């Protein structure tokens, strides 16, 4: 009983109200995130329709194999996150900690691959504003380098913003691991795991859109 009281915040009448409030809060936040990324996707759509060839050419300068590996990594991390939430619901502390750590690991693998990819772009002199040099030879379409520059700007803005969300997600999971370690969660109280799961899946879904829009647009 005392356990229940310590996790129920004073403004709520019961745990059910608290759970519904935190879930609704996270969904509202995710709507906010949809619109945040929506601004980027709108910009992408505008320029892709203005410079279709430059976007096709730019896409060929990205390594789709790396993107595909990262997609697989993220989808797996969604599975482990879902299993973590399930473990929390069932009150299985050890498997909760295990799946959270696994999710963190997969998220870190994604970020590590991203760092590798960015450094590769640096060596190819394809980072806008830092060391962009128009490529000597184009792969398929001969386009105005300035238009290629716009594509790369969007590539870095979009994947960078996504990576930032991944970093936040991994940090949140780290906090959850500590809390789970201390036995804060039970089958009655696991809201933080649940809402962190929602966030994690959302960030994955953003990548599911980014991958084809950036890596695959000229490979049909």
Interface residues with other proteins (CB under 8 A)?
Answer: 9-11, 13, 17, 20-21, 24-25, 28-29, 31-33, 35-40, 42-43, 46-47, 50-51, 128-130, 144, 146-147, 149-150, 153-154, 156-157, 161
75 vs 130, beta carbon nearer other proteins: 130
The minimum distance between CB 163 and other proteins, in angstroms, equals 14
The minimum distance between CB 160 and other proteins, in angstroms, equals 9
49 vs 220, beta carbon nearer other proteins: 49
Count the neighbouring beta carbons within 10 Å of the beta carbon of residue 213.
18
With CA atoms as reference, report the closest residue to 44 among 121, 130, 173, 153: 153
Residue 142 DSSP symbol: -
Count the neighbouring beta carbons within 10 Å of the beta carbon of residue 130.
10
CA atoms within 13 A on the CB side of 116: 11
The minimum distance between CB 102 and other proteins, in angstroms, equals 29
Answer whether 70's CB lies under 8 Å from 155's CB.
no
88 vs 150, beta carbon nearer other proteins: 150
């Amino acid at each position: 009983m005392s356990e229940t009281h310590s996790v129920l915040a004073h403004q709520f009448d019961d745990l059910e109200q608290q759970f519904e409030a935190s879930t609704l809060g996270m969904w509202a936040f995710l709507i906010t995130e949809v619109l945040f990324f929506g601004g980027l996707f709108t910009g992408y759509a505008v320029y892709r329709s203005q410079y279709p060839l430059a976007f096709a050419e730019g896409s060929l300068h990205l390594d789709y194999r790396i993107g595909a590996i990262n997609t697989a990594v993220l989808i797996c991390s969604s599975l482990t996150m879902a299993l973590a939430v399930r473990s929390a619901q069932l009150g299985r502390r050890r498997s909760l900690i295990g799946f959270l750590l696994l999710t963190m690991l997969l998220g870190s693998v994604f970020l590590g691959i991203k760092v590798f990819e960015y450094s590769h772009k640096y060596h190819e002199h394809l980072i806008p504003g830092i060391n962009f040099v128009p490529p000597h030879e184009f792969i398929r379409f001969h386009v105005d380098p300035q238009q290629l520059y716009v594509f790369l700007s969007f590539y870095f803005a979009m994947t960078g913003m996504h990576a930032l969300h991944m970093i936040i997600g991994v940090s949140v999971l780290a906090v959850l691991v500590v809390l789970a370690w201390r036995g804060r969660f039970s089958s009655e109280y696991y809201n933080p795991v649940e809402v962190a799961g929602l966030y994690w899946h959302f960030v994955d879904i953003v990548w599911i859109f980014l991958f084809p829009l950036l890596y695959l647009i000229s490979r049909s």
